[in-house]
Structure 1
Amino acid sequence: MNAQAKPNLLVAVLAGIALAAMVAAYFAPIWWVSLTAPNYPKDAFPDGIRIHFHFDGVYNGCKAAGKGSRMAEEIIQKDLSHEDERYNPILDKGKAHDKGAQGLDCVHEMNTINHYVGMFPIATGAPVEKPLAKFFFAFFATMMLAFAVTRKKLRLVVLGAGFAATAAWMIVDQYVLGHLAAHVEEYVREAGTFFKEPERIKAWGDNVTLVSHVVIAGLIVVMGVVIAGVAKIRGFQLLLALVPALLPVYFVITYAAWLWFFGHNLHPWGAFTVKPFMPTVFGEGKVAQFSTYSYPYWGYALLLLLFAALMLALLIRRKQLREGAVE
């Protein structure tokens, strides 16, 4: 094994670890938020009204009450249908009525709570970022794969093929299959859940469409810039690792920005009037009788693993560039 084979292999392994962590993070809950209040007793809601933030949306974080809790003992948690027979407290005492029971839909519950102070539904946040996140992940994945390559020509081939596939996928998905139009339609419907202002909400939908067009076109342009940069500037390849390595920073900035938006764009039709505020990004806070908790979840640990692996790989590659060991 020659002198450069070991660092080349190490860079490839680190890039592979980062890529695996990033793919897993896309499907993982990155951050969680919970509200607790006296009207949500801990025995019934052990985690409060909890939601999980993913890259592609916000999901329910509540679960059915655990076995042995007061709620599990006293309440049938399963949603009953017309096919379920009436409960007999004597004959049915030993039956597993809660088999298949799911927790409260806490996204809906939190939306209901928030709208009393004039806050719009959670689904209206990041309307451009969420549906396009998968394409940015494909963009980052291509950069990481190209970074692991030591030969310039092969690196450019990887970038060209990966970016072409990502661009084609994005155009077909958003325009040919009509997913962008469907998303905007759903966004407009969701935005008008509590506050019915058709003209204003339609304008928001038009903005989402316009910004989505700009972001899609911009991403394709950036792909071209990256290919040109790698082709012309030797040290440009370091950006292939640095840009995706900062994914945990991008998430926190976007998350905090949208929290600010929600807290500073309260609708005057809310049942209660509160001053614009900044919801808790990290830690514990309090709004009225509600205590709020906001912390990173296990998906964020994957992003930190991504960061650590890519930064270490970047340092190794930087040393190789100084020594002239890679193209």
Structure 2
Amino acid sequence: DLKKMIEKKGEVGMMSFPVWYVALEAPNYPKAAFPEGIPVWFHVDGFSGDIHEMNTINHYVGMYPLEDGAKIERALGPFLMLGISLLMILFICIRKKWSWIFMLPSALFPLGFFAFYSGWMYWFGHNMQEWGAFKIKAFMPTALGVGHVAHFTTKSFPSIGFWILVIIAVLSVLALLARRNELKKQ
């Protein structure tokens, strides 16, 4: 919650913004307790929300806990964001034809995030453990939109961090076009 972060003088930056939002509605979780379902927000470097509840309900079908997914990606997230920032600075400083390469990571980051997120959703849905109380077939969890698996409803949508990444990507493409025009005039 951005308002609470500002009130508590918390970190407000790309790393603190959630990139993706997921909610799971299950019959054994009353609407009064979870009106929007069990919420989890995915960040570049981790996740927040009702992780324990999500892991508990996923346990029933034999899914791994959230902490088991994307360990390397979460660990590298802050360094990746720092690297992208440094590449943008290099793009500003180096005015050569080939300097467009520096802007590719920032321009492609939203697509890359969604690709990795979708890949991990696939992994979670296709690597069930035998200890699950309910046996379900391998499935692709909903990566975008509203989906249904057995008697569960899932919601998966971009959050504020994703839209910030999209804005950065658009500005990166605009910077590339401006640089191309500048070099043509020289």
TM-score, normalised on structure 1? 0.52
Unaligned 5+ segments in structure 2 are 1-11
Partners of 1:24 and 1:236 in 2: how far apart?
A: 30
Partners of 2:46 and 2:126 in 1: how far apart?
A: 21
Partners of 1:48 and 1:286 in 2: how far apart?
A: 13
Question: For 2:184, what is the secondary structure of its paired residue?
Answer: helix
Instruction: Give the superposition deviation at 1:150.
Output: 5.0
1:122 aligns with 2:66: yes
State whether residues 31 and 52 of structure 1, in contact with CA within 8 Å, keep that contact through their aligned partners in structure 2. Answer: yes
Partners of 2:27 and 2:138 in 1: how far apart?
A: 24
The structure 2 residue matched to 1:29, chosen from 18, 41, 52, is 18
Paired residue type of 1:109? E
The structure 1 residue matched to 2:46, chosen from 57, 60, 85, is 57
Question: For 2:41, what is the secondary structure of its paired residue?
Answer: strand
Q: Deviations over 1:298-324 (max 9, x none)?
A: 111101110111111110001112222
1:107 aligns with 2:96: no
Structure with greater strand percent: 2
- RMSD of equivalent CA atoms: 1.4
Paired residue type of 1:244? S
- How many aligned positions are there? 175
Where does 1:233-312 land on structure 2 (aligned, <5 Å)?
Answer: 234-312=96-174
Paired residue type of 1:243? P
| Same amino acid, percent of matched pairs | 45
Where does 1:1-327 land on structure 2 (aligned, <5 Å)?
Answer: 24-60=13-49, 106-150=50-94, 234-324=96-186
Instruction: Give the superposition deviation at 1:236.
Output: 1.8
Residues 315-324 or 300-309, more deviating: 315-324
State whether residues 146 and 240 of structure 1, in contact with CA within 8 Å, keep that contact through their aligned partners in structure 2. Answer: yes
Instruction: Give the superposition deviation at 1:139.
Output: 1.0
Q: Deviations over 1:243-279 (max 9, x none)?
A: 2211101100000000000001111221111111000
Q: Deviations over 1:218-247 (max 9, x none)?
A: xxxxxxxxxxxxxxxx42200111222111
Partners of 1:245 and 1:124 in 2: how far apart?
A: 29
TM-score, normalised on structure 2? 0.89
Unaligned 5+ segments in structure 1 are 1-22, 61-105, 152-233
Structure with greater helix percent: 1
